[in-house]
Structure 1
Amino acid sequence: MSKYLLDKFLYTVDRDPSLVERYREDPVGTVAWWESSVANTILNSHSGEASTWLRLDDVEREALSTHDYVKLFELGAHPFLTLTLFIALFERDHAEPLAFQKEYAARLAHFSLPYPDIAT
């Protein structure tokens, strides 16, 4: 498991409106594409440097591919990165202000302190 890679996915997708839309419409395809073409690039590097060993495990891939933010939280994905991306994905589907944020909180309400470790 790589919390770094989960957080990198959340960070990079959230910062590109076209990727947010792509992930909303085709999460399985977006996760597969991202893992094969972006996962091993150096974050914020413009030099073409890349690694070759970073991969999501099956549980991480499944959670990302199904938009399962509760599972991502359980796996230790950073809650702020998760929340901001999922607001971008789903806030528009709710009529009332903060409705998605309230749903997010309700679905995570079964967690108690200490929360899963978010250190990478």
Structure 2
Amino acid sequence: MSKYYVNKFLFTVDRDTHLLARYIESPRSFVSAWEQSIGPKLLGNDVEASSAHAFTDEERRALVDHDFVSLFEMGAHFFLNLTIFIGIYDEPYAQKYGPLAFQREFAQKLRHWRGKDYPSIAT
């Protein structure tokens, strides 16, 4: 797994409301577009680009499917993983199930990690 590239995706998309809206609206096409045009750019530099990173099929599938459990298990940074999906699911879950409903679901789905060492987030 390219933890760096996955974490870069989570970080950049979560911090840009326009990108986040595109990711919510059409995950498959957005992940592909991000990987081809946004991801290779060096942060803060529109001139230079990197060709050294690409998502694996497993990473791409997890991002498209919003599969935060798989991303966690592959070593995506826990905080980045949590915050982007809070941005996506917090409001709809809160309207339907009450405050912190998504955070509770996130914790429940990762419950099998209780008492174990978390996957390394080292890049």
Once the two structures are overlaid, the 10-residue window that deviates more, 34-43 or 69-78, is: 34-43
**RMSD after superposition:** 1.0
User: Within 5 Å, which residues of 2 pair with 1:1-120?
Assistant: 1-43=1-43, 45-46=44-45, 48-94=47-93, 95=95, 96-112=98-114, 113-120=116-123
Deviations 1:54-109, CA, capped at 9 Å, x for gaps: 10000000000100000000010001001110000011111211111001000111
Residue 107 of structure 1 aligns with an amino acid whose one-letter code is K
Q: Distance in 2 between matches of 1:60 and 1:46?
A: 25
Residue 103 of structure 2 aligns with an amino acid whose one-letter code is Q
**Higher-strand-fraction structure:** 2
Listed as ranges, the gaps of 5+ residues in structure 1 are none
Shift of 1:52: 1.3
SS of 2:83's partner is helix
Residue 68 of structure 1 aligns with an amino acid whose one-letter code is D
**Higher-helix-fraction structure:** 2
Between the two proteins, the alignment pairs up a number of residues equal to: 119
- Give the TM-score, by structure 2 length: 0.92
Listed as ranges, the gaps of 5+ residues in structure 2 are none
Identity rate, percent? 50
4+ residue segments displaced more than 4 Å: none
